[in-house]
Structure 1
């Protein structure tokens, strides 16, 4: 007959195996979910939102068909989760923009924090965004294809529409950081207009939309100067 203390010792020795098994299962779950979301974004970049189905996503991800439904339920849920992943991929891009703006502003203001030379600052802003827009066929091109599909989606679910609205607010906030030092009479509106123009120029790389006869830098310079008229 085993004593109560002995039983307790045996149970204690065996118990560490359960967390290890649980962690392994959770790790496999997260790997599968990541594969599904990455596959969704790859399909959006290559073929657009219209190409998405549980079957196409599972095939692209190399997982069983039932797993897309098991982990996410509906295509709409997958789209929302994939958009969150896209937004994470944009954080370094937008943080680089913020750093560039802070560096430009530190060179452009006097000891009182006022712009020493608006023309110089405007040229600096146009150059920063022109470099972003004209990066060529890099990983940014994939991001643009994904962003274009999401932002131009005509019938998003309520949850996705809310996410897209929040994303645009995030971009507008960054644009306002660039526009506010100019001291325009409508900085909120001007920031949104500037953001839309940047997006239009970026999307010209992945759509038929574009402005003929001018570089991205020239277009942005003209727009920024117009805000001061």
Structure 2
């Protein structure tokens, strides 16, 4: 099987001691392509280093994570814009709104997302959206900006059937990760009604490891477990899910 991990922080500090071995395990598991979302100025160098060492496997995005939106947001966004003008990236991301930890910079998060929506349009790139505890707020901004040119993925989707339908109506994909394997993750009630053409697979490693590794460090080699669970929920075979989601990722990220 050929699998694409559409969202993985393989440049993370958590992989500093075994990054090459971890990426080799991913290849052995059939995960031939890994999309890497940026966080902020602190992650750019190590992300691009990882891409340079593994150019056939790891592909970088450029964006500002909502949890990194703070007092220096303008400087961070300037850097994102500068990099997008300097070289090719697969997407603008990850960006969005996160109201789980702190709502202090909510207005700034909204403005940062608007700026990155404009950058996605300007560079004809997809958006990779982080919407933790902020689905409505994020979807409202995408809806207001959708002129037919916006495309992307609501990463780590764990919402309701109605929210899934809204994402699809907006022309975006649903990024499905380890939550699909959780007993009370809720996706068992949502995914059976969704066509494969709307789905991407992701690990969001080193976070959100699927069962039976829940609570441990996640890595792309675990993507087949998510693939298998999606196949079970859609009552289809694993090869069909792997092929469809890989084709979707190739189309979205222009691979």
Which category describes the TM-score, using the shorter chain as reference length?
A: under 0.3
TM-score (norm 2): 0.23
TM-score (norm 1): 0.25
**Between structures 1 and 2, the one with greater helix share:** 1
Structure with larger RCO (C-alpha < 8 A, sep 6+)? 2
Report the structure number with the largest CA radius of gyration. 1
**Between structures 1 and 2, the one with greater strand share:** 2
